[in-house]
Structure 1
Amino acid sequence: MFAFALWDRQDRTLTLARDRMGEKPLYWGWQGQTLLFGSELKALRVHPDFQGMIDREALTLLLRYNYIPAPYSIYRGIRKLPAGHYVVIAAGDRDAMPRPFWDYRNVVRAGLETPFTGTDGQAIDELEARLMTSIQGQRVADVPLGAFLSGGIDSSLVVALMQRQASQRVNTYAIGFQDKAFDEAVHARAVADHLDTDHAELYVTEQDALAIVPELPRIYCEPFADSSQIPTFLVSRMARQRVTVALSGDGGDELFGGYTPYQFMPRLWGWLRMVPAPLRQGVAALLAPLPVPQRIEKLLAILGAASREDLYFRVRSHWMNTESVVLGANEPDSLLRNPGEWRFVESFEAWMMSLDVCGYMPDDILVKVDRAAMANSLETRVPLLDHRVVEFAARLPLSMKIRGGQGKWVLRQLLYRYVPQSLVDRPKAGFAVPLGSWLRGPLREWAEDLLQESRLLQEGYFNTKRVRETWREHLSGRADRSSKLWSILMFQAWLADQ
């Protein structure tokens, strides 16, 4: 993982580069006559030439995805360098364009052209060897090192392979909630006991979690609205009390088919295709104005899908018609809105995974972890994203990733060599917080202040009527609008902090 700038004194050129998978951030852009670049927007803001104009088009993307995808940033004229890219800028060259030095599309193409043809056992052995090599390299540190452990497949596998290599007990960290519906710590504890790690867990109260909310604009230097940012920050803070480097299990879902949509979306699209699109769209239009639960609202949105690409775009969207919410903005193209370059991937499952590796993973998952960790002076490392592991995953047939209606098949089989299946086989839970009830309860006053009608009108970024209607619907309890509201609230809190 890296993001660097190299000045060539002889040629008078600046080269900016970012790692293959996008683990580290790099912002760059011209402001007036000055080229600014840095790993955080707050570094750019202190420069006297920084203009700081909000990019309303990027704001539509925040409402769409709950994050702002590369190459956009919240500021006009400032861009994120895409993962696996570099740009060479000569003095005064405003037309320099990023170019890939490693392109995941080529990795996927190579995997399709030369797929892995070995047995199940050989695939498990090869994955084990590559992960062992990755972890061995990432364990090298002259400071204390540990790992996050949720008790799920990915983090448990990373910890198991770490413990196999270590001469001492590995430091592991988990966070728990008093609300059993959101508590993963009990599962982490069971895995830690089996692997005999030096395990620490912190059960946080609702007050502990809520206290982080005012800090989010400082931690995420542009608006970012994945609410699992809160527990991620808390577990990073806990780990930093004992270690300086922590390994995580991120990447397993995208590379090996772990997310639930990968299993049900192909079947869903098969069912939808049996009903004429105009009929589906008509039903959705009739029911759309009704206050319905969030899951039903999502179902209504996908009824009108015209293609498999359109279906996934709708599933990944939080606000559907963003241009009716952000004033004076046109939503620009983004990977999920214009995915034509990936049509060479015939399998719907593999197509979704590929887009998530290039979009959701670097722009949401890795941003969430990196910023939360760095705010606590903790370095995170992601062994599953070693490019040799990524390239091997691209060669594996889909049947070694999704089998029997269950994702991450090959990862699971490898983990079962170290951890009993009964300890880790359970439905995917994610790293969630009860955001909906918080917004109706302890966060209501904070949210109401940020969503005041007079405030929204004065700032002039949002359609005040749409936002206030959504807020009232949520408060009434008739519908859960928390995922929509969180993107608005994260922008409003960030704006107030500028």
Structure 2
Amino acid sequence: MSAIAGNWIVHREVGDGELGATARRLTASLAHRGRQRQPLVRPGAGLALAAVSACEVQSCIAVSPDERYVVVTGGAAASSGRHAPAQVIARRLADSGALDVLRDVADAVSVAIWDGHEKTLTLSRDRMGQCDLYYTCTAFGLVFASELKTLSHECMGGGEVDPQAVSQLLRYGYIPAPRTAYRGIYKLPAGTLRVFHAAEVRDWHRSAAAAGPFTAHWSLKTLVETRRCTSAAPSLAASVDAVLDRLQAAIGRARGPGTACLLSGGVDSSLVTALLQQQSAAAVETITVGFDEPGHDESAWAAEVAGHLRTRNTRLVMNDASALRLVETAPRVFCEPYADSSAIPTLLAAEAAGTSCRTLLTGDGGDELFFGHGSYVKAMRNHRLVRRVPAAVRRALGAHAARNPERARLGGVAALVSEAASGSLAETYLMRVSRWRDPSRALKAASEAPRHFLESSLHPACRHPAELLLFLDQTHELSEGLMTKCDRAFGAFGVQARSPFLDADVLSLAWDMPFEHKLRPGETKAVLKRALERYLPEHHVRRPKKGFGAPVARWLQGPLRDWADDLLDPVAIRNRGILDEAVVAGLWKSFLDGNRKYHTHLWPVLMFLAWDREWNAAAPGTQAFHARTYAA
């Protein structure tokens, strides 16, 4: 994925030399994204811009024919020339407003638009959140970037950690927009834009609307509620044909020289690999990651799939040494706390991909679009059972579970009691995906951030109740979690990660399709499995999948024990003042005493502490460096 950054200095006059130095500094902060780099300045406006890409960076920058607009795009690099998103947007802005133009942009790109007449800067994030875009105001003006680390540098150190953002990390494993780990630094929500005026930037610190308002240029909720309804539902075979046609087209748009596939051996990545190989005369490169623990390792199975599809497969096996190395690397790569354990094997794959390819196709989104997660089925089953429990009994069970909500993670009676207190399908599912059931208990002085997951006013009217689970995962776990993981991990090694399942045409088809083609009796993701049967034998298609999660519990007992002990030092935690050292120490002791399932709680705590040490312990030195830079 290409990346962008900008600094709009509005509080004072700025010379050409300083502006050029700012543009070069922004470019350097994103240098890992690729060798193609271009700083750009608008001296009269006090604007410094930067674009960095593994492909053709010229495709990421465009000026409108009348020179009124400058457009910079980050994300999936499109073909160079007149059809690249930046060029298309720049041409259309002469006749339409930014909102109308951005409504039609289906590419996975973040966008910055400078309007030289109105003296405004418009920032926009793509529909499904594949391209993060952060922003804040400094003592000099507005700064934005594809990565949080750039803002941390420009702000002379990251700033004050937001405890409510930490509560979201403990619950979800990621921090959803518009919050970030720092107070005063925000991330655009997916499918939104924001227009900044110079006066607003100058009054930023007195404004109560620093985190908004956002304007939606696209809405998944609207797509769900306005999808096409045909008088006669298509057959399952017709849906299979449609999926294959749309995926083939999406892969054709995404592929380029040096395109490879991340192959897990599961349905989604196998189908993407099969279709890419079908379009390629030579053997496609595939990358497979496994573990040296049989209970988590699927690399041998993936290698069989690669052999059947005749790809050129690289099989990587993560051992204890590589686990420790990559865990220590993760905070620098992600530059914001991120606690999905699959990030560690993803980094191993990204490292290998960086030596051999520029674009990597993944199967991300297949589960969330086509009902592939087993947790969906369990949530539906449990919710049906809970509805039979009288409301008064549910309230009593809820009060009992609230005394020690985290114990439910250990299973048994505690888990049954906790889920029996659920009041809705969304709440039942939230319990299944939450790391911490009550993250505020782990914080010194902060309540949990609002759980938009449960706000029914944000939910669409669905044809089938289970579709709500798909909507929730697409707007939360996929947009704010998995896409950030892929963007950071692969971007760190100059590789574009693209998911054909999130192509606009595939997304629309998934929601137009009858739900019964996704979930059939005893079978999830039915339409994709039928599609894959055209390329692989049935026994390769229908088998239990272990997922891409790392063996965290074993790691914390073995190769990561010393690393975790060091981070969990009670004195250091107490002195930092964010987490409750007694709660954390009690959880660590319980884990070491045999309650291994508490690794789900410990991992986000450790990821936060590792990130905090990496980015905030050195903040004074960072501040001094940038103070000198600005003074110069």
Q: What interval of TM-score do these two structures reach, taking the shorter chain for normalisation?
A: over 0.9
Which residue, out of 401, 416, 423, partners 1:306?
A: 423
Structure 2 residue aligned with 1:355: 472
Partner of 1:342: 459
Distance in 2 of aligned mates of 1:243 and 1:408: 30
- Shift of the 194–154 alpha-carbon distance from structure 1 to 2, 3 Å rule, reads same
1:204-245 Cα deviation digits (max 9, x unpaired): 322112211111110111111001100011011112222121
Deviates more, 1:341-350 or 1:431-440: 341-350
CA distance in 2: counterparts of 1:18 and 1:115, whole angstroms? 35
- Residue 178 (structure 1) shift: 2.0
String of CA shifts for 1:33-55, please: whole Å, max 9, x gaps: 62221111111112256661111
What SS does the corresponding residue of 1:58 show, helix, strand or coil? Answer: helix
Would you say the 8 A contact 1:263–1:402 is kept in 2?
no
The equivalent residue for 1:144 is 258
Instruction: Provide the secondary structure at the position in 1 that maps to 2:597.
Output: coil
Q: 1:359 aligns to what SS in structure 2? A: helix
What corresponds to 2:553 in structure 1?
436
Match of 1:382 in 2: 499
Name the structure 2 match of 1:126: 242
SS of equivalent residue, structure 1 residue 199: strand
Name the residue aligned to 2:62.
none
Alignment of 1:181-196 (within 5 A): 181-196=295-310
**What is the SS of the residue equivalent to 1:348?**
coil
Identity of aligned residues (%): 35
Post-superposition CA distance 1:256-312 (Å, at most 9, x none)? 000112222222111112222443554566576596763345444322112222212
Structure 2 counterpart of 1:481, from 565, 584, 598 = 598
Structure 1: give runs of 5+ residues left out of the alignment: none
Letter in 1 for 2:374: T
| Residues 108 and 327 of structure 1: CA distance in aligned 2, closer, same or farther (over 3 Å) | same
Aligned to 1:233: 347
Structure 1 range deviating more: 410-419 or 285-294: 285-294
Distance in structure 2 (CA, Å) of the matches to 1:115 and 1:198? 45
Asked if residue 467 in structure 1 is aligned to residue 581 in structure 2, the reply is no
Q: Is the 8 A contact 1:263 1:405 kept in 2?
A: no
Amino acid in structure 1 at the alignment position of 2:217: F
Indicate whether 1:62 and 2:160 are aligned. no
Query: How far has the Cα of 1:115 moved from its partner?
Result: 8.1
Q: Distance in 2 between matches of 1:299 and 1:450?
A: 33
Shift of the alpha carbon at 1:203? 2.1
Q: Secondary structure at the match of 1:88?
A: strand
Which residue matches 1:271?
385
Q: Does 1:412 align with 2:526?
A: no
Q: Does 1:91 align with 2:198?
A: yes
Q: Which amino acid aligns with 1:187?
A: W
CA RMSD of aligned residues (A): 2.0
Q: Which amino acid aligns with 1:182?
A: H
**Structure 2: tracts of 5 or more residues without a match:** 1-107, 616-632
Alignment of 1:38 with 2:135, yes or no, is no
2:331·2:611 contact (CA, 8 Å) conserved in 1?
yes
Tell me if 1:315 matches 2:432.
Answer: yes
Q: What aligned pairs does 1:79-228 form with structure 2 within 5 A after superposition?
A: 79-93=186-200, 94=204, 95=209, 97-111=213-227, 113=229, 117-139=233-255, 141=256, 143-228=257-342
- Once the two structures are overlaid, the 10-residue window that deviates more, 425-434 or 107-116, is 107-116
Q: Alpha-carbon deviation of 1:113?
A: 4.7
2:458 is matched by which residue type in structure 1? E
Task: Render the CA deviation track for 1:396-420: whole Å, top value 9, x for unaligned.
Answer: 1110001122211111111111111
1:438 and 1:363 map into 2 onto residues whose CA distance is 26
Residue 447 of structure 1 and its aligned partner are, at CA, apart by 1.1
Residue 329 (structure 1) aligns with: 446
Residues 1:77 and 2:169 are matched in the alignment: no
Q: TM-score, normalised by structure 1?
A: 0.95
- Following superposition, the deviation at residue 202 of structure 1 comes to 1.6
Further displaced range: 357-366 or 262-271: 262-271
Could you list the per-position Cα deviations for residues 344-403 of structure 1 after superposition, in whole angstroms to 9, with x for gaps in the alignment? Answer: 225331001011111110111111111111112211111110011101100111100011
* CA distance, structure 2, for counterparts of residue 84 and residue 291 of structure 1: 37
| Deviation of the 1:172 alpha carbon | 0.8
Among 489, 492, 497, the alignment partner of 2:609 is: 492
Distance in 1 (CA, whole Å) between partners of 2:389 and 2:311 is 53
Alpha-carbon distance change, 345 to 32 in structure 1, aligned in 2, over 3 angstroms: farther
Asked whether the 8 Å contact 2:570–2:585 carries over to 1, the reply is yes
Q: Which moved more, 1:222-231 or 1:363-372?
A: 363-372
Q: Kindly tell me: are residues 345 and 158 of structure 1, through their superposed partners in 2, closer, same or farther at Cα, counting changes over 3 Å?
A: same
Match of 1:445, SS state, is helix
**Which amino acid is 2:135 matched to?**
W
Question: Which deviates further from its counterpart, 316-325 or 335-344?
Answer: 335-344
Query: Structure 2: how far apart are the matches of 1:491 and 1:116?
Result: 51
Aligned residues: 496
2:162 partner letter:
D
- Which sits farther off after the overlay, 11-20 or 47-56? 47-56
Give the 3-state SS of the residue equivalent to 1:331 in structure 2: coil
Distance 1:86 1:476, change over 3 A: same
| Counterpart contact for 1:4–1:16, Cα < 8 Å | yes
Aligned equivalents of 2:129, 2:196: Cα separation in 1: 20
**Contact 1:291–1:473 (CA under 8 A) maintained in structure 2:** no
CA distance in 1, matches of 2:388, 2:408: 25
* CA shift digits 1:29-83 (9 cap, x unpaired): 2345622211111111122566611111111111111110111100111111111
| Amino acid aligned to 2:124 | A
Distance of 1:376 and 1:256 partners within structure 2? 30
Structure-2 change in CA distance of 1:207 and 1:403 (3 Å) = same
Alpha-carbon deviation of 1:169? Answer: 1.1
**Greater RCO between the two (CA within 8 Å, min separation 6)?**
1
SS for the counterpart of 1:455 is helix
2:588 & 2:122 partners in 1: Cα distance?
A: 46
Contact 1:14 1:90 in 2 (8 A): yes
Name the counterpart of 1:427: 544
Q: Which amino acid aligns with 2:359?
A: V
Alignment partners' CA distance in 2, 1:226 and 1:59: 14
Q: Distance in 1 between matches of 2:117 and 2:538?
A: 59
Q: CA deviation at 1:104?
A: 0.7
Structure 2 match to 1:446: 563
| Structure 2 counterpart of 1:341, one-letter code | L
Q: Report the secondary structure of 1:481's partner residue.
A: helix
What is the CA deviation profile of residues 170-223 of structure 1, one whole-angstrom value per residue up to 9, with x for unaligned ones? 111101222111111111111111111111112232211221111111011111
- Separation in 1, partners of 2:230, 2:217: 21
**Which amino acid letter does the alignment assign opposite residue 382 of structure 2?**
L
C-alpha separation in 2, matches of 1:323 and 1:397 = 40
Matches of 1:226 and 1:204 in 2, distance apart? 16
